[in-house]
Amino acid sequence: MGKRELQESVIELKGIGEKTGKLFNKIGVNTLGDLLYYFPRGYDLFEEPRRACDLKENIICACKLTIIGSVTRRHVRNLSIVAFEAADETGRVKMTFFNAPYLVNSIKSGSTYIFRGVVRRKGNFFSMDHPKMYKVEEYAPLIGSLQPRYPLTKGLSNNTVMKAVDKAFISAGGLEEFMPYEILERLHLIGYLEALRKIHFPKNADELENARRRLAYNEFLVFVLKLRLLKQNSEEIKNNYPMIEVADTTRLLEQLPYRLTGAQLRAWEDIKRDLESDHVMNRLIQGDVGSGKTVLALLSLITAAANGYQGALMAPTEVLAAQHFESFKSLIKKYDIKCLKVALLTGALSAKDKKEVQRQISEGEVNCIIGTNALIQDKVIYKNLALVITDEQHRFGVRQRGTFAGKGEGTHVLAMSATPIPRTLAIILYGDLSISIVDELPGGRKPIKNCVVGTGYRPTAYKFIADQVASGSQVYVICPMIEEGELDGVENVVSYTQMLRATLPESVNIEMLHGKMKPAQKDAIMEAFARKDIDVLVSTTVIEVGINVPNATVMMIENSERFGLSQLHQLRGRVGRGEKQSYCIFINSSDDEDAAKRLDIMNRSNDGFVIAEVDLKQRGPGDLFGVRQSGELCFKVGDIYHDSDLVRESAMDADRILSTDPDLLLPQHNVLKELVSTKSANFVDFTTL
């Protein structure tokens, strides 16, 4: 097989020297094998040429136009600029080329081309800078085909990557098929080499989909096999920290101003049963935003503490960790929870404070440690860590979870996640964990009222916000950027805050929050907001995960069109957390019909499941990959929603394979065994990390 060749360095390829080789190394491509696995980020479609009146801003369009008037050439400093206009019966487009003086001679007024490039609008005009020009007969055979778009680095062009990949395939000639034939046939999957080739160079959308499915299946099968083998090893880990139910939790549940929902109660029973059982807990709590997961963490931490152990809660952001810390402190005071001694450990602490907290942890002076990934640094030594909880698990890489658990011996693990995955899939994909699903929102909540509107609606929105503030509620406004000048036409927190201060009545207290602020400053702002000292908080997405201020009833999101639907759902989840009616205003700043259509689902549903599914269906071939690349369950090409059938099949196939060959020792399972034993980012391994 071509395995040895695939280990060869990319500079072995003709046309790639040391310099280009270094650029490839920079993007993580060292060998020919790496190159074959350097998948496109998306594809550009060679579309049917449009009419000028159908052009759309900011996307790549192809348009059949005839050059009109004269071709001009001028110089601005060192730059030579060639410009002309081209038109059809529906409109005109300005074309500009930089440093291409030769064009003046080759381009003739009256000739017709297909121009393909990014469309911009300058005033009343559409324009294209440096469009590719095709003769009409040259473009015709390309229509419908896809061109790969690779993630690049400065100095490395898409074309260079394309050529290199193409050449690498020559060495891959003998790449071996390793998937059992029976599986390929049953699922109509194409061959391995063919799939690799077509993921780079699909002739059309169908070919791309076939390639993607085959490679997705590889990922799922290997993933599930890993889980199965892992589970065999870890199922029998003894409970080193057995616990009993304690009076403090029962008392807290009686005193809280609300009763747990049925779903919360079931999850709490699951947790208690685990902690008392003979085996260590490995549990995932899955529940949509606002379903009330935090109280389950609190109850578990109290149980650990009252049993004489330490417990830790890790959050993905400092802002959220600090909030948990503050809210736990106030609950401890309010309900007199004497057994719980909390500490906060984040990167934001001064070196001195950090040392002090670390001392308290190692000497066992504190037993409930809340923090960010600062909790898992080597320097932190726990006295008797029995329970680790990760909040917003979907925001962490899996490795982090593993390392965290590795801080203690046979530590109980509770992961809390808001990823909306159907139960049947969750059981497969979190095969190593037991799962509790919190599928009920606390009663008495009024569904959030939504509206998706254009920028013209802002004055009405501001008036509404002022009224809500006057009635005692609080408001979030989200802008994508921090400061001015980052991107045209995109709102930023700093300017927006100033503008709002000038627009809203003086009595409204408006503050801002963003990632460039000092941690102490961020904490101060969040605390002030929680205390109601701030009425309107203008923020970036730093508040996206976990933040809980039930008195906030309005969420206004500027440039909604720039966010993913699932992200919008998380942001919206910051309101609707109390009994008051809440509202979410999505401002759509683009005049693109597709954006409007996409956002409309936010109007129609408050359900994370529904939104995740629609999110997926609305994606085009241009953005197949990379949408869900953060957090865990990030497969390179597989998408657990879109390919849910394959996920299910892979689970059954994994069981079939392991039932005949439990340790993958048969020769036909050689490659599978190799794949299963390589560590990959989406591998959950509590036992060895």
Residues in contact with ligand ADP, shown as a per-residue x/- string from 265 to 304 under the rule CB under 6 A: ----------------------x-xxxxxxx---------
Region of 28 please: left (phi>0), alpha (psi -120 to 50) or beta: left
Q: Which is nearer to Mg ion, 522 or 562 (CB)?
A: 522
Residues in contact with Mg ion, shown as a per-residue x/- string from 200 to 239 under the rule CB under 5 A: ----------------------------------------
Shortest gap between Cβ of 363 and Mg ion (angstroms)?
A: 30
Cα separation, 451 vs 112, whole angstroms: 45
Q: Which does 577 bind (CB under 5 to 8 A by kind): ligand ADP, Mg ion, none?
A: ligand ADP
- Work out the number of other CB atoms within 10 angstroms of the CB of residue 440: 17
Q: Which is nearer to Mg ion, 143 or 265 (CB)?
A: 265
Q: How many residues does the chain have?
A: 689
Given 290, 371, 402, 546, the residue binding Mg ion (CB under 5 A): 546
Shortest gap between Cβ of 16 and Mg ion (angstroms)?
A: 49
* Region from 227-235, 310-318, 479-487, 544-552 binding Mg ion, contact rule CB under 5 A: 544-552
- Greatest Cα pair distance in the chain: 89
570 is a contact residue toward ligand ADP (CB under 6 A): no
Q: Which is nearer to ligand ADP, 85 or 392 (CB)?
A: 392
Q: Which does 550 bind (CB under 5 to 8 A by kind): Mg ion, ligand ADP, none?
A: ligand ADP
Q: Which does 307 bind (CB under 5 to 8 A by kind): Mg ion, ligand ADP, none?
A: none
Q: How far is CA 449 from CA 452, 553, 575, 586, in A?
A: 11, 10, 10, 11
Shortest gap between Cβ of 262 and Mg ion (angstroms)?
A: 19
Question: In sequence order, which residues have a C-beta less than 8 Å from that of residue 290 and are 6 or more positions away?
Answer: 441, 442, 445, 573, 576, 577
Given 171, 261, 372, 606, the residue binding ligand ADP (CB under 6 A): 261
Shortest gap between Cβ of 555 and ligand ADP (angstroms)?
A: 14
Fill in the DSSP letter of residue 492: B
Q: Which is nearer to ligand ADP, 208 or 530 (CB)?
A: 530
Q: How far is CA 507 from CA 195, 465, 501, 527, 583, in A?
A: 63, 13, 10, 20, 22
Q: Which does 290 bind (CB under 5 to 8 A by kind): Mg ion, ligand ADP, none?
A: ligand ADP
* Region from 2-10, 23-31, 43-51, 542-550 binding Mg ion, contact rule CB under 5 A: 542-550
Q: Which is nearer to Mg ion, 117 or 290 (CB)?
A: 290
Tokens 């693109």 -> residue: 592
Residue 6 sits at the vertex; the CA angle it makes with 2 and 7, to the nearest 5 degrees, is 125
Shortest gap between Cβ of 449 and ligand ADP (angstroms)?
A: 18
* Region from 12-20, 461-469, 497-505, 543-551 binding Mg ion, contact rule CB under 5 A: 543-551
Tell which residue, 378, 375, 377, 388, has the closest CA to residue 309.
388
Residues in contact with ligand ADP, shown as a per-residue x/- string from 47 to 76 under the rule CB under 6 A: ------------------------------
Shortest gap between Cβ of 475 and ligand ADP (angstroms)?
A: 17
Q: How far is CA 503 from CA 538, 559, 565, in A?
A: 14, 19, 29
* Region from 107-115, 207-215, 259-267, 526-534 binding ligand ADP, contact rule CB under 6 A: 259-267
Question: In sequence order, which residues have a C-beta less than 8 Å from that of residue 617 and are 6 or more positions away?
Answer: none
Shortest gap between Cβ of 438 and ligand ADP (angstroms)?
A: 7
Exposure b/e, 330-353, CB count within 10 A at least 16 = b = ebbeebebebbbbbbbbebbeeee
Q: Which does 33 bind (CB under 5 to 8 A by kind): ligand ADP, Mg ion, none?
A: none
Cα separation, 104 vs 129, whole angstroms: 16
Q: Which is nearer to Mg ion, 546 or 638 (CB)?
A: 546
Given 311, 420, 442, 638, the residue binding ligand ADP (CB under 6 A): 442
Given 65, 189, 260, 587, the residue binding ligand ADP (CB under 6 A): 260
What residues numbered 390-419 form the site for ligand ADP, per CB under 6 A? none
Half-sphere exposure (CA, 13 Å, Cβ side) for 509? Answer: 11
Given 31, 264, 373, 650, the residue binding ligand ADP (CB under 6 A): 264
Q: What is the 3-state secondary structure (H, E, C) of 443-491?
A: CCCCCCEEEEECHHHHHHHHHHHHHHHHCCCEEEEECCECCCCCCCCCC
Cα separation, 56 vs 46, whole angstroms: 15
Cβ atoms of 256 and 227 closer than 8 Å: no
Tokens of 406: 């590795």
What residues numbered 312-351 form the site for Mg ion, per CB under 5 A? none
Could you tell me the end-to-end alpha-carbon distance of the chain, in angstroms, rounded to an integer? 33
Tokens 């001679």 -> residue: 105
Closest residue by beta carbon to ligand ADP: 292
Shortest gap between Cβ of 331 and ligand ADP (angstroms)?
A: 9
Shortest gap between Cβ of 443 and ligand ADP (angstroms)?
A: 6
Cα separation, 92 vs 94, whole angstroms: 7
Residue ranges that bind Mg ion, judged by CB under 5 A: 546
Which residues bind to ligand ADP, rule: CB under 6 A? 258, 260-261, 264, 287, 289-295, 442, 548, 550, 577
